[in-house]
């Protein structure tokens, strides 16, 4: 859970807000407390949806129906105000991880748990259908695993969002939608039964029954191909096969499914495996103290989905199979190395100019290299912390744990050297061939509790740019190992992110931080002439943090990620904003451009969306299951990498 930001409300209706839980397709999700002390999940509708009369009308209808949903296996809607500005709704808070989180972190569920899961979901869907609703987006991220059984969340919302999109868009998650939903046809309860079969396959194997890859490829297999059920236990497989019938009329009813599965767990011990039971216990402990306050943990909200990509329309082309249909266009692989130790996370990933090497740095202060083709380690080093302060190192790191970390990294144009921005304010230069490491000096400390935010290297002349906890950017001559200039971003505007354009003549910088009370406009997005080192323009006042800037391969477009999750695209020559790819509260954490103008965005919920910037549309969705801090696309466009608790790569075919 993240603290409330400067522009966030402190109260919605009678509910006091405690912190941010994430962003979903409909809006921003908050943790709140009722006047009687109960924890709840509060969702505020996005402004662009709130201004749509059709959405408001459908939202009011769906909320009224959702409030009639009862049963043991749903996270119930307890309050709502469709007429408010913006509209909001409140659901019961269910302490527990999502099915997606549990499987990605601890693997598939055992056979006994699958029966409990399937029966609980069937009973929950039956209650939803009994209220006249169809879920439309049943998926692992919309299922919470609680101590006493699963809960179905986010029911009745997808249909409300239909009013805000064109009829050619199909809202849902490709790997878990039914054939009729993928075709854009009318859907009914049988569509949720198909999704139930897909969810059970994921729970049993860790994969959906129709694989991974581009939206078009997955949707084609949903409509035309047989499911892949290898690894699904036999007593579950029979139910799954029936649920996944292409013809809705051939699928079993939910009552039939309940008759064929074991009854839900009735109390005689945990129904989940030990590792997942521990996850549930952690969530429960967090909700017990009466004086509970937000922590830095990212919680899944009962009753509301935090999956950001659910808001992106999926346009299905079904008349003919796409190129490579039947095979995933992207395959995910966790790199075979000890990536991070303890509770650390990866903070930056980057590819070498020839796409042959992948570098990653993180909270443990280590820099690691992998060979992309073989997915094997190619080297590692750990930065020795430099402490220029009179305070003991233990005092510095206890106040600021990032002091020991490595925060960002960039390759030289020839790929021979790797620059690493460290949390202690120094820069490490690693000779990739020899393994020798040089540390550039700590210059002009401003505040001892700060951390270096970013490094970037000019792709033409090799000049290094770095931020160092000050309203300025330092420029370095790597050959001489000396500082050559300082660019001042403005008093109070702490430089946080930077990027050179492909031709090396423009440097973009963004300033901002997470200081409580700062607004999304507390910062500057600026352009600099890399030769004269003079300011060209201030494009906007926007609070932007690390991983927030990226130039397109042709240098014509600059993408900026503001700290509220808004991605804006800029025409560099015209100095004008051309598009917005995501709204405030969307959950985007990082961005990176790739070959052909493809923009990758990492999300809080562990997903990655790839956008075709020219067409202004999403073209693929990937998933890791845990929060993504950094993302990179190889220069040759064949590989996508994302870092968080783990480092995952996808080969794009």
152, 154, 155, 161: CA torsion to nearest 10? -160
**Domain limits for position 421:** 330-652
* Whole-number pLDDT of residue 443: 63
Say whether both 539 and 573 belong to one domain. yes
Q: Answer whether residue 601 is part of any domain.
A: yes
340 confidence band (pLDDT: 50, 70, 90):
very low
Tokens at residue 418, please? 């790797």
Which of 277, 311, 345 marks a domain boundary? 311
Model pTM score:
0.53
Which of 256, 279, 311 marks a domain boundary? 311
Report how far residue 223's alpha carbon sits from residue 613's, in angstroms, rounded to the nearest whole number.
28
The residue count of the chain comes to 653
CB 597 within 8 A of CB 613: yes
Say whether both 493 and 345 belong to one domain. yes
Secondary element (H or E) of residue 632: strand 628-633
Q: Which of 485-489, 616-620, 623-627 has the highest mean pLDDT?
A: 485-489
Residue position matching structure tokens 């002439």: 529
Which of these, 131, 178, 187, 127, lies nearest to 159 by C-alpha position? 187
Q: Provide the number of structural domains found in the chain.
A: 2
* Whole-number pLDDT of residue 444: 58
Residue position matching structure tokens 């004269």: 532
444, 448, 453, 454: CA torsion to nearest 10? 30
Say whether both 306 and 338 belong to one domain. no
Tell me the torsion sign for CA atoms 470, 472, 477, 482. negative
Q: Answer whether residue 245 is part of any domain.
A: no
- Asked if the peptide bond before residue 195 counts as cis, ω within 30 degrees of 0, the response is no
What are the residues facing 371 on neighbouring strands?
357, 376
What are the residues facing 569 on neighbouring strands?
559, 579
Which region among 268-282, 446-460, 541-555 has the lowest average model confidence (pLDDT)?
Answer: 446-460
201-237 pLDDT, tens digit per residue, is 999 999 999 987 667 778 889 999 999 999 999 889 9
69 confidence band (pLDDT: 50, 70, 90):
confident
Say whether both 376 and 476 belong to one domain. yes
Report how far residue 419's alpha carbon sits from residue 398's, in angstroms, rounded to the nearest whole number.
26
Instruction: Check residues 552 and 91 and name the one with the higher pLDDT.
Output: 552
* Whole-number pLDDT of residue 2: 66
What percent of the chain is modeled with pLDDT above 70?
A: 82
Mean model confidence pLDDT for the chain: 80
Tokens at residue 164, please? 């805000």
CATH number of domain containing 523:
2.130.10.10
144-168 pLDDT, tens digit per residue, is 999 889 999 877 554 544 444 333 3
553-595 pLDDT, tens digit per residue, is 999 999 999 888 889 999 999 999 998 887 666 788 999 999 9
Residue among 2, 8, 137, 154 flagged as catalytic: 137
Tokens at residue 23, please? 């962003």
Tokens at residue 577, please? 């904003």
Say whether both 473 and 566 belong to one domain. yes
Taking the alpha carbons at both ends of the chain, their separation in whole angstroms is: 36
Secondary element (H or E) of residue 431: strand 427-431
Q: Which of 193-202, 203-212, 340-349, 460-469 has the highest mean pLDDT?
A: 193-202
Q: What is the arithmetic mean of pLDDT over 514-523?
A: 71
515 confidence band (pLDDT: 50, 70, 90):
low
120-146 pLDDT, tens digit per residue, is 999 999 988 988 888 888 999 889 999
495-512 pLDDT, tens digit per residue, is 889 999 999 999 999 998
Inter-axis angle of helices 234-243 and 189-205, to 10 degrees? 150
CATH number of domain containing 158:
1.10.510.10
Q: What is the arithmetic mean of pLDDT over 410-423?
A: 93
Say whether both 276 and 346 belong to one domain. no
Q: What one-character DSSP code corresponds to residue 51?
A: T
CB 77 within 8 A of CB 63: yes
CB 496 within 8 A of CB 544: yes
CB 140 within 8 A of CB 99: yes
Report how far residue 401's alpha carbon sits from residue 394's, in angstroms, rounded to the nearest whole number.
10
Residue position matching structure tokens 């659910």: 310
Q: What one-character DSSP code corresponds to residue 517?
A: T
Tell me the torsion sign for CA atoms 216, 306, 582, 508. negative
Say whether both 354 and 306 belong to one domain. no
What are the residues facing 361 on neighbouring strands?
348, 367
Q: Where are the alpha helices (DSSP H) in 435-490?
A: none
The DSSP secondary structure of 441-483, one letter per residue, reads PP-S---TT-----EEE-TTT--EEEE-SSSEEEEEETTTTEE
223-277 pLDDT, tens digit per residue, is 999 999 999 998 899 999 999 999 999 999 999 999 888 554 444 568 999 889 8
Q: Answer whether residue 198 is part of any domain.
A: no
15-45 pLDDT, tens digit per residue, is 999 888 766 556 788 888 888 777 888 888 8
Say whether both 589 and 456 belong to one domain. yes
Say whether both 417 and 458 belong to one domain. yes
- Chain centroid to CA 249: 36
Say whether both 546 and 646 belong to one domain. yes
* Whole-number pLDDT of residue 335: 44
Told to judge if 162 belongs to the known catalytic residues of this protein, a careful annotator would answer no
Q: What is the arithmetic mean of pLDDT over 484-490?
A: 90
Which of these, 292, 307, 310, 303, lies nearest to 79 by C-alpha position? 303
In our burial notation (b when 16+ CB lie closer than 10 A, e otherwise), range 13-28 reads bebbbbbbbbbbbbbb
Q: What one-character DSSP code corresponds to residue 175?
A: G
């Amino acid at each position: 859970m993240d603290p409330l930001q400067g522009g966030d409300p402190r109260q919605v209706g009678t509910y006091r807000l405690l912190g941010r839980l994430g962003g979903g397709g409909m809006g921003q999700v908050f943790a709140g407390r009722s006047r009687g002390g109960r924890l709840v999940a509060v969702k505020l509708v996005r402004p662009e949806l709130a201004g749509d009369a059709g959405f408001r009308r459908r939202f009011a209808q769906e909320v009224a129906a959702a409030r009639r949903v009862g049963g043991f296996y749903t996270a119930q809607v307890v309050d709502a105000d469709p007429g408010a500005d913006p509209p909001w709704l409140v659901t019961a808070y269910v302490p527990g991880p999502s099915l997606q989180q549990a499987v990605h972190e601890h693997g598939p569920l055992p056979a006994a748990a699958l029966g409990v899961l399937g029966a609980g979901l069937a009973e929950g869907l039956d209650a939803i259908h009994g209220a006249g609703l169809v879920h439309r987006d049943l998926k692992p991220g919309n299922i919470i695993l609680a101590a006493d059984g699963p809960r179905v969340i986010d029911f009745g919302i997808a249909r409300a969002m239909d009013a805000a999109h064109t009829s050619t868009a199909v809202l849902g998650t490709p790997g878990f939608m039914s054939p009729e939903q993928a075709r854009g046809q009318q859907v009914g309860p049988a569509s949720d039964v198909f999704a139930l079969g897909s969810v059970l396959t994921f729970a049993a194997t860790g994969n959906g029954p129709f694989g991974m890859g581009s939206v078009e490829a997955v949707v084609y297999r949903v409509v035309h191909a047989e499911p892949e059920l290898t690894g699904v236990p036999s007593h579950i497989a029979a139910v799954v096969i029936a649920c996944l019938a292409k013809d809705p009329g051939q699928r079993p009813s939910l009552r039939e499914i309940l008759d064929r599965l074991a009854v839900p767990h009735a109390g005689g011990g945990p129904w989940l495996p030990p590792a997942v039971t521990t996850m549930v216990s952690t969530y429960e402990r967090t909700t017990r103290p009466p004086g509970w306050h937000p922590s830095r943990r990212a919680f899944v909200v009962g009753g509301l989905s935090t999956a950001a990509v659910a808001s992106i329309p999926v346009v299905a082309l079904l008349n003919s199979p796409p190129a490579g249909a039947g095979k995933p266009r992207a395959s995910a692989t966790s790199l075979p190395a000890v990536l991070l130790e303890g509770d650390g996370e990866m903070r930056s990933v980057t590819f070498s100019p020839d796409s042959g090497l992948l570098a990653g740095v993180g909270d443990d202060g280590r820099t690691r290299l992998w060979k992309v083709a073989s997915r094997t380690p190619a080297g590692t080093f750990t930065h020795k912390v430099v402490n220029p302060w009179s305070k003991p190192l233990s005092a510095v790191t206890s106040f600021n744990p990032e002091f020991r970390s490595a925060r960002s990294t960039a390759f030289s144009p020839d790929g021979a050297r790797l620059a690493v921005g460290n949390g202690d304010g120094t820069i490490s230069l690693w000779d990739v061939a020899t393994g020798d490491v040089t540390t550039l000096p700590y210059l002009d400390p401003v505040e001892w509790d700060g951390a270096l935010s970013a490094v970037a290297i000019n792709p033409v002349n090799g000049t290094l740019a770095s931020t160092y906890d000050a309203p300025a950017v330092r420029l370095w001559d790597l050959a001489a190992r000396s500082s050559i200039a300082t660019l001042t971003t403005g008093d109070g505007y702490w430089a946080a992110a930077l990027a050179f354009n492909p031709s090396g003549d423009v440097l973009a910088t963004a300033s901002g931080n997470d200081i409580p009370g700062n607004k999304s406009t507390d910062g500057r997005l600026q352009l600099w002439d890399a030769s004269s080192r003079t300011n060209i323009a201030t494009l906007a006042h926007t609070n932007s943090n690390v991983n927030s800037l990226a130039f397109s391969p042709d240098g014509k477009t600059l993408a900026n990620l503001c700290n509220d999750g808004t991605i804006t695209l800029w025409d560099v020559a015209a100095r004008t904003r051309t598009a917005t790819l995501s709204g405030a509260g969307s959950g985007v954490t990082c961005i990176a451009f790739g070959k052909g103008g493809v923009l990758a965005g990492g999300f809080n919920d562990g997903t990655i969306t790839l956008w075709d910037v020219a067409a202004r549309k999403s073209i693929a969705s990937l998933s890791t299951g845990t929060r993504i801090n950094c993302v990179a696309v190889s220069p040759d466009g064949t590989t996508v990498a994302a870092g968080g608790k783990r480092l995952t790569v996808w080969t794009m075919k």
